[in-house]
């Protein structure tokens, strides 16, 4: 078992023990956990290795891909434009992006896109692998795409296309590439060690991501992956078109792209910092990310029921997941918790009732698209410790 590094308040010692036990799995490589309560960091731990040879120790400043944990940052960056009066939540997206006004998309609004109600969960026309890293090609394919269902009548998670549904309006409104817009308006002000598009100078800090072998998850995880490998299904196209989405994680092209739906690269400390501020309605001390009324809109239920892409009941606010009533979807904290998981294990969320921010990352991907049991177990243990104090 590798040594656990970092700091933790004594009241959370059982969380540290659980974190260490999780790394005792023969396939476990590296992970980090950070939790804030109020304005204090109460847990900041890391352990394991970052390379395929298991020779490079995980450091305090190690970075790793957090996949869909990136989505809420893109949502906040665009909602900041709403707060500035540059775009309305119920304004047609085509007013900012004229080429979008085709194939039945003329009236699709930002609110519908943020809540996964636009019908644009996937691109139906097969795209070459290199298209994933060609911003105009992906934006153009989405502009031409017909919705899979009548917009706003149902919902379906958009795992990949979300990057361009949010990123193209963000690019047009700010005049910056999306990753730079997120850096300027969120990561730099909060002091987050987090990137959507990692600069050359930071590439050496990124941990290699690998998958757990011979672990297939629960019945739901197996059913979803069966759908994902069907190239004609909505899930298959949503997660696998272009096919490079499934194979590029450790490549430089992926690490330096602006795929704000899935390629954010950071650490647990940065996720917890973001959610610490969101737990305080978007402002902490003199630092303000977003108007409190817009934060309330984010955490308000906009979509609920069977998800056309994920094939399970889901609840979404604006750019975020809300707590799910079923085992595979909950954050393992209070019923008002909200945030976003990342494929394979990463998790970032807040519990506004406790003013708590939570960040967990790993470079050992499990077989889960929604909540990973490792992160959920840690969250539940944090809650147990808090209840014991209360």
What is the DSSP annotation of 17-35?
Answer: HHHHHHTTSTT--EEEEEE
Tell me the pLDDT of the chain averaged across its residues.
95
Q: What percent of the chain has pLDDT over 70?
A: 98
In the predicted structure, residue 218 carries a pLDDT above the cut 80: no
Burial class (CB in 10 A: 0-12, 13-18, 19+), 40: exposed
pLDDT at position 346, please?
A: 97
| Band of residue 221 on the pLDDT scale cut at 50, 70, 90 | confident
What is the DSSP annotation of 96-139?
Answer: T-GGG--TT-TT-BHHHHHTT-SS-SS--S---GGGGG-HHHHH
> What does the pLDDT look like over 80-108, one tens digit per residue?
999 999 999 999 999 999 999 999 999 99
In the predicted structure, residue 217 carries a pLDDT above the cut 70: no
pLDDT at position 138, please?
A: 98
Cβ contact 25:214 at 8 Å? no
356-362 and 313-316 strand pairing: unpaired
pLDDT at position 153, please?
A: 98
pLDDT at position 347, please?
A: 98
Q: Which two tokens stand for residue 257?
A: 């792209």
| Band of residue 22 on the pLDDT scale cut at 50, 70, 90 | very high
pLDDT at position 195, please?
A: 98
| Band of residue 215 on the pLDDT scale cut at 50, 70, 90 | low
Cβ contact 348:275 at 8 Å? yes
In the predicted structure, residue 1 carries a pLDDT above the cut 60: no
Cβ contact 303:30 at 8 Å? no
Give me the domains of the chain, ranges plus CATH numbers. 5-73+181-389 (3.40.710.10)
Residue with tokens 């999780």: 22
Least confident window among 131-140, 360-369, 374-383: 360-369
In the predicted structure, residue 386 carries a pLDDT above the cut 60: yes
Q: Which residue has the higher pLDDT, 25 or 138?
A: 138
| Band of residue 214 on the pLDDT scale cut at 50, 70, 90 | low
pLDDT at position 26, please?
A: 80
pLDDT at position 50, please?
A: 96
> What does the pLDDT look like over 136-165, one tens digit per residue?
999 999 999 999 999 999 999 999 999 999
Instruction: Describe the strand order of the beta sheet including 30-37 as a list of residue ranges.
Output: 5-8, 40-48, 30-37, 356-362, 347-351, 338-341, 321-322, 313-316, 303-306
CA distances from 171 to 74, 180, 251, 375 (A): 11, 9, 24, 33
Q: What mean pLDDT is predicted for residues 312-331?
A: 90
H/E element, 71: helix 71-83
Q: Which residue has the higher pLDDT, 325 or 72?
A: 72
| Band of residue 27 on the pLDDT scale cut at 50, 70, 90 | confident
Q: Which two tokens stand for residue 228?
A: 């994902």
Least confident window among 11-15, 167-171, 207-211, 323-327: 323-327
What is the DSSP annotation of 231-255?
Answer: TTSHHHHHHHSSGGGGT-TTSHHHH
pLDDT at position 242, please?
A: 96
> What does the pLDDT look like over 228-241, one tens digit per residue?
888 889 999 999 99
Other beta carbons less than 10 A from residue 381's beta carbon: 18
| Band of residue 59 on the pLDDT scale cut at 50, 70, 90 | very high
**What pTM value is reported for the model?**
0.96
Q: What percent of the chain has pLDDT over 90?
A: 86
> What does the pLDDT look like over 266-315, one tens digit per residue?
999 999 999 999 999 999 999 999 999 999 999 999 999 999 999 999 99
């Amino acid at each position: 078992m590798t040594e656990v590094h970092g700091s933790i308040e004594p009241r959370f010692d059982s969380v540290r023990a659980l974190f260490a036990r999780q790394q005792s799995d023969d396939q476990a490589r590296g992970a980090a956990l950070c939790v804030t309560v109020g304005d204090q960091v109460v847990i900041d731990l890391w352990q394991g290795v970052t390379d395929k040879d298991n020779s490079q120790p995980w450091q305090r400043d190690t970075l790793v891909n957090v996949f869909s944990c990136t989505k809420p940052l893109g949502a906040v960056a665009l909602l900041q434009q709403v707060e500035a009066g540059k775009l309305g939540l119920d304004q047609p997206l085509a007013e900012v992006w004229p080429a979008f006004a085709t194939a039945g998309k003329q009236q699709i609004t930002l609110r519908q896109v943020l809540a996964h109600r636009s019908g644009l969960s996937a691109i139906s026309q097969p795209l070459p692998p290199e298209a994933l890293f060609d911003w105009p090609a992906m934006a153009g394919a989405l502009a031409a795409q017909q919705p899979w269902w009548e917009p706003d009548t149902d919902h379906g998670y958009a795992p990949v296309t979300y990057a361009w549904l949010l990123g193209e309006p963000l690019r047009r409104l700010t005049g910056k590439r999306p990753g730079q817009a997120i850096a300027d308006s969120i990561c730099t002000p909060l002091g987050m060690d987090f990137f959507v598009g990692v600069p050359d100078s930071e590439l050496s800090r990124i941990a290699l991501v690998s998958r757990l072998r011979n672990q297939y998850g629960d019945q739901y995880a197996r059913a979803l992956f069966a759908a994902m490998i069907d190239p004609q299904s909505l899930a298959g196209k949503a997660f696998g078109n272009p096919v490079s989405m499934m194979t590029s994680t450790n490549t430089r092209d992926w690490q330096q792209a602006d795929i704000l739906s899935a390629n954010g690269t950071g650490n647990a400390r940065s996720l917890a910092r973001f959610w610490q501020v969101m737990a305080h309605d978007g402002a902490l001390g003199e630092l303000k990310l977003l108007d409190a009324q817009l934060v309330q809109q984010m955490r308000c239920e906009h979509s609920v029921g069977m998800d056309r892409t994920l094939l399970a009941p889901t609840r979404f606010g604006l750019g975020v997941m809300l707590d799910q009533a079923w085992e595979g979807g909950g954050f393992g904290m209070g019923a008002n918790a909200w945030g976003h998981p990342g494929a394979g294990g990463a998790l970032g969320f807040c519990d506004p009732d406790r003013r708590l921010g939570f960040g967990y990352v790993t470079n050992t991907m499990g077989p889960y698209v929604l909540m990973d049991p490792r992160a959920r177990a840690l969250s539940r243990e944090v809650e147990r410790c808090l209840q014991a104090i209360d």
